[in-house]
Amino acid sequence: MSAGAIDYASLTPGQKLGIKYFSVAMILFLAQLLFGMIAGLQFLYPELFYNQLDFSVNRMVHINAMVVWMLYGFIGSVYWLVEDESGVELVGAKLGNINFWVLTSAVTVVVLVYLFVQTGAGRIESIWFINEGREYIEAPRWADIGIVVCVLVFFYNVAATFTKGKWSGISGVLVLDLIALAGLYLAGMVYTTNISMDQFWWWWVIHLWVEATWEVLVGCIMAWGLMKTLGARRKIVTTWLYIEVALMFGSGILGLGHHYFWIGTPEYWLTVGGFFSALEPIPLVAMVVHAVYDAGKHGFQSSNHPALAWLIAHAFGNFLGAGVWGFIHTLPQINLYTHGTQWTTSHGHLAFFGAYATIIIAIIYMAVQRLRGDVWMSADLRGGWKWKWSLILQNVGIMGMTVALLIAGYEQSFIERAIGGSTWQAYFEAQTHPWFVQGMYWRVVFGAMMTVGLVLMLWDLLTIGAGETRSAKKVGIPEPAAESGDVPPAAPQPAG
Ligand code: HEM
Ligand code: HEM
Ligand SMILES: [Fe+2]
């Protein structure tokens, strides 16, 4: 096949699986934005789809679609890199394929139930078949169990492949992290009628996923991505990875306490949560320094400009959305006023998009490059306006939404909490204040900009590199043998 044409047949088994996961991820990303737009419009026009497609359902589909597409994106990225990193073909590809279809069918059924059943009596059967009622991970219990099984299959595929091939610093961290990621999901399945206890365990999944295990996972993906797009040295990216992981777990685990301030847990969580979560931005600074250092060292010469641009967007988005926007409301003295207002939503949007959507998009651009037969994706890319504009529209869109929500949240903290003393009446005063209403309006305007950006990007992903005849730019300095791996000297060194 010539460069520029779709060359699916020549992909390795792991890469083929990666493409499947990425495709579903992008469909769900689009669904996420459409349901977000409906939910956003319902703030302005509360009667819109009332009793047909209620806000509660749209919001749930919006955030669950997000969690699922990001998990698909991560699984796809790991399948994409596992063979390259281990040096052998994926182990258990057939099983992995069946797994993909089982998981995707289950996700489809769950979404259909969300949309068509929507509500049910508060009985134990509803937990099993309709909705478990835990924000972000609402999937009913039958699906929970299915998800755990599917993740175990995925884990087997990945660990077995590294074991058959070779291990590295990156893959070691990755596999240990996947154990923690899968194990934590179990904490979200514990059922108790005590709401404080229920929330306590639920946060183990939500916080320890996004602020510990997901961060480490994207650290591994970033390390690999920088080696591939820039030719960064393995020794350097691995050293950074170890530092970041140590800092991340050091602050993120007890940082969990910032969700325990007001849910009925002992008071020492105010101190513990406040202190450790305030340290959480530090590893994120390290990640920005790392990415910019590597890119600068290579004069921003990359084999894949869109991917590198999205990797850099990830480094800054993670730092701003999680680090800065997280830090501003993490001290209990401040959180007392901001808790559960639009500040939270402002942070939630910028953090999830900045830290996770961006890096998955970067790896998808790398996958598309390979799918087109390793075509040129550096400077003077044909039709390069598409990736640039879609990047600009999505990032300006998310920043616009974030600022609009922050203004609304500031107003809520001020009028409802600080001045009004959190009374029922103060709540409504805050909800009808012009700053709040205008914030809700601007969210929809910037959300529309984002949606246009995403549609443009999907078009770009389907067409980028088509008809391109130049092959990918070679990057990086050949690595001296002694530096090429983290494999101890006793183990056989792979050639190259
Ligand atoms: C990529 C990493 C992160 C993501 C994806 C993320 C996302 C979120 C989301 C979605 C919520 C809202 C949860 C809810 O529904 O109640 C939240 C809450 C919160 N986050 Fe983060 N976050 C991240 C990192 C951080 C960091 C590093 C900090 C602190 C430095 C932080 C501080 C907080 C605090 C204090 C809350 C509670 C807000 C409230 O009281 O309403 N987050 N985060
Ligand atoms: C078209 C753009 C979008 C619109 C109009 C939109 C709208 C909304 C609305 C209306 C809510 C409910 C807020 C509430 O309950 O007060 C929400 C929640 C949420 N959205 Fe979006 N959204 C959009 C894009 C995104 C993106 C790109 C992400 C992340 C990648 C995201 C992540 C979230 C999260 C994490 C929550 C829960 C936040 C919380 O509990 O504070 N949204 N969104
Ligand atoms: Fe947290």
Residue 212 has pLDDT above 90, yes or no: yes
Residue 306 has pLDDT above 60, yes or no: yes
Residue 488 has pLDDT above 60, yes or no: no
Residue 483 has pLDDT above 60, yes or no: no
Rounded-to-10 torsion of CA 15, 18, 19, 23: 180
Q: Give the span between the Cα atoms of 287 and 315, in whole angstroms.
A: 6
Q: What average pLDDT does this structure show over 175-203?
A: 92
**What is the residue with the minimal CA distance to atom 32 of ligand 1?**
326
CB 324 within 8 A of CB 369: no
Each residue's pLDDT tens digit, 225-237: 999 999 999 999 9
CB 21 within 8 A of CB 73: yes
CB 413 within 8 A of CB 429: no
Residue 496 has pLDDT above 60, yes or no: no
Each residue's pLDDT tens digit, 367-397: 999 999 999 999 889 899 999 999 999 999 9
Mutate-to-test residue for ligand 2 from 54, 349, 416, highest number of ligand atoms within 8 A of CB = 349
Ligand 1 midpoint to CA 19 (Å): 30
Tokens found for residue 351:
């953090």
CB 248 within 8 A of CB 283: yes
Mutate-to-test residue for ligand 1 from 260, 285, 344, highest number of ligand atoms within 8 A of CB = 344
Q: Give the span between the Cα atoms of 397 and 448, in whole angstroms.
A: 8
DSSP result, 113-157:
HHHHT----SSHHHHHHT----TT----HHHHHHHHHHHHHHHHH
**What is the residue with the minimal CA distance to atom 7 of ligand 2?**
36
**What is the residue with the minimal CA distance to atom 4 of ligand 2?**
36
Q: Is the pTM of this model over 0.85?
A: yes
Burial 405-436 (b: 16+ CB within 10 A, else e): bbbbbbbbbbbbbeebeeeeebeebbbebebb
* Of 52-61, 168-177, 424-433, 484-493, the least confident: 484-493
Q: How far is CA 421 from the centre of its chain?
A: 36
* Of 43-52, 206-215, 291-300, 323-332, the least confident: 291-300
Q: Which residues line ligand 1 (CB under 6 A)?
A: 135, 210-211, 258-259, 277, 280-281, 318, 322-323, 326-327, 329-330, 335, 339-340, 344, 347-348, 351-352, 355
Residue 136 φ/ψ region, left for φ over 0, alpha for ψ in the -120 to 50 degree band, beta for the rest: left
Ligand 1 midpoint to CA 156 (Å): 31
Q: Give the span between the Cα atoms of 215 and 416, in whole angstroms.
A: 34
Question: Which pLDDT does position 4 carry in this prediction?
Answer: 81
Closest CA to 329 of 406, 271, 430: 406
* Of 110-124, 204-218, 374-388, 451-465, the least confident: 110-124
* Of 222-226, 296-300, 356-360, the least confident: 296-300
Ligand 2 midpoint to CA 488 (Å): 46
Helix axes 55-86, 93-116, angle to 10 degrees: 170
Ligand 2 midpoint to CA 423 (Å): 26
* Whether residue 40 has its Cβ less than 6 Å from ligand 2: yes
Q: Give the span between the Cα atoms of 58 and 115, in whole angstroms.
A: 9
Question: Which pLDDT does position 432 carry in this prediction?
Answer: 96
Residue 491 has pLDDT above 80, yes or no: no
